[in-house]
Structure 1
Amino acid sequence: MSPPSLSLIVEVKARHEEALGIATFELADPHGRPLPPFSAGAHIDVQVKEGVIRQYSLCNHSEERDRYLIGVLRDEASRGGSVAMHDEVQEGDLLLISAPKNHFPLKPAKRTYLLAGGIGITPLLCMAERLARTEADFELHYCARSAERMAFRDRIKTSSFANRVHFYLDDDTAAPALDLEKLLNEPEADSQVYVCGPSGFINAVISTGKQCGWPADQLHTEYFAGAETTSEDDGSFEVRIASSGAAFTVPADKTVYQVLAENGIDIMVSCEQGVCGTCLTRVLEGEPDHRDLYLDDDEHAANDQFTPCCSRAKSKTLVLDL
């Protein structure tokens, strides 16, 4: 049974090999009706196949209502979502998706910095389109391993904002590399920084920004994969359901979500990596061990909600508002 959030049926109108290992899928209503509107930075949940739901950023212009465009990197080490999109989803197929959601929205700014690593270009490309349309002051810095792996390069080079884009290729040793310290050296009170890409790239940008004095609320991130954690020191703990008083032990080798599901308590999940926030659950008592990349530092410190798909407990018991 599909989650109720997956309320739209779309047809794959076109599929293109955008770059090495990256395919784009153009999705539209099968009957030609307008799709729900979205804003720059938004994503959709896609049911790739039964039981497999993944999030993909929308990378077409946010004023378009006739289609959604997503870009998918084939990751052989993934849990099956990206591989299934590449190997099984073809033009003419019907997919079940959610309405657009946005946890990575643009904020008004005197100047905007967009920093993309690899497939992280997808939400930032939509942002660049929007900023260019509104004649805002911005620049896009796009890093990739090689030219053949750089998605949307031709589209960007022929865009109205091409003169605001800087490309960096790891295999081009003759060209200058992205100098984060130089770029972020002077914090600007009315500016915003957005970064998306591999975790290492995001962490480098954010740590450099903070070292240079940028306030946390001017640094915005969008992760595609969960944080790297170790389970060596994990122990068991108890979760208690507030409404019924039922209590269950969560062993070291299972997540809270898995234990609850085994006991007939359904929580809507999607990424299962603490990235999307779909499973966010209120905590009434106890201290979570936060392992997500969805909540910010202040939300973690409040300890009144957590992601049961990946987070655990520091206290012996967590009482959940279920």
Structure 2
Amino acid sequence: MPELQKTILDHVEHVTDDVVSLVLRGDDGPLAPWEPGAHIDLELPNWLTRQYSLCGDPGDLSAYRIAVRHDPLSRGGSEYIHLFLQPGRTLSVSLPRNHFPLLPAAEYLFVAGGIGITPIVPMLRSAVASGAAVTLVYAGRSRPFAAELTSLYGDRVRLARPDFAALAEEFPAAEVYCCGPASMVDAAEAVFPGVHTERFEPTRRTFGPDTAFEVVCARSGGTIQVPADESLLDALNHAGRPVPSACREGVCGSCEVTVVEGEPEHRDDIGAAAGRMYPCVSRARSSRLVLDL
């Protein structure tokens, strides 16, 4: 099981009508270090685990800050946080993971939509501190932290809907980062070939028919049959080889496993590193996989 950190919910702040900011203070001393773009898994008292981008100051390890939008179609995570979670509650969080790292550059263009601002907030802080040229274009009906960001960064922040064609002409040499609704991310990718993106929902793609395969657990022993109508993650859990998971959609990375032999069929939106896969959505191209489990 992954290492967990114990935190105390220090306070909850309503930053917009539909977004709350949570400050999670380390209960046993400093929390694990992190870099801009990182996120954590938050274990909720209603037995759900959800992932949230860290939007505080990476230099302050006494606490983590996250922000949560109340989703009307919530599967129970955001609704619980908005309606029931109170300060003083003990909550376990994972070590930070980062699939959206900020790379060194002389100029940055950040584009965010709504709650997609959360991973961008610490990126802005780091980019400005580095001395780089920085511009944020921030759109959305709800803009959490907009007042805070304009106060800190002035005219570097544009509260406007992005015109990507115009931005491409204005910032031809910038390193571009985008996080927001799928339509915004798709538009950014169509104009900026090298854009760095993070999605909160999986990309709609078509794959071949699911087929059965077998998995060998290298460390614990045993072979597990994965039928065509069951995910690899569910097959592992049902066979007594539980793998932690959060999104179950291939966007958070919490269920990452190591592949020893065989060829995975990657269906995630993260871009699994060589020798890794995400069993919540990914399957096998070969008839057999050997996993480090």
- Normalized against structure 2, the TM-score is what? 0.89
Match of 2:241 in 1: 265
Runs of 4+ in 1 over 6 A off after TM superposition: none
**Percent sequence identity over aligned pairs:** 34
Evaluate the alpha carbon distance shift between residue 167 and residue 316 of structure 1 in structure 2; reply closer, same or farther with a 3 A threshold. same
- Seen in structure 2, the aligned counterparts of structure 1 residues 132 and 195 have a Cα distance that, compared at 3 Å, is same
Unaligned runs of 5+ in 2: none
Aligned match of 2:138 in 142, 146, 153? 142
**2:226 is matched with which residue?**
249
Helix, strand or coil at the partner of 2:123: helix
CA distance in 2, matches of 1:88, 1:151: 21
CA root-mean-square deviation: 2.4
| Among 115, 124, 127, the residue aligned to 2:123 | 127
Return the offset for 1:79.
2.6
Comparing 78-87 and 116-125, the one that deviates more? 78-87
- Report deviation, 1:56: 1.1
2:108 aligns with: 112
Deviation of 1:245 (Å): 5.5
Is 2:217 aligned against 1:221? no
- In the alignment of these two chains, the number of paired residues is 291
Name the amino acid aligned to 1:223: R
Structure 2 residue 166 is matched with structure 1 residue 182: yes
Asked if structure 1 preserves the Cα contact closer than 8 Å seen for 2:41 and 2:254, the reply is no
Aligned to 1:292: 268
CA offset digits 1:169-219 (Å, max 9, x no partner): xxxxxxxx4210121247745x31111112222122112212xxxxx3xx2
* 1:312 corresponding residue in structure 2: 283
| Counterpart selection for 1:156 from 143, 149, 152 | 149
Residue 207 of structure 1: aligned partner: 190
Distance between the aligned counterparts of 2:100 and 2:157, measured in 1?
20
Displacement of 1:63 in angstroms is: 1.9
Instruction: Tell me if 1:5 matches 2:14.
Output: no
- The residue identity in structure 1 corresponding to 2:277 is F
Give the C-alpha shift of residue 242 in structure 1: 5.1
Could you tell me the TM-score, scaled by structure 1's length? Answer: 0.81
Query: In 1, distance between residues paired with 2:205 and 2:172?
Result: 34
Tell whether the 8 Å contact from 1:237 to 1:315 is kept in structure 2 after alignment.
Answer: no
Aligned match for 1:84, one of 75, 80, 83: 80
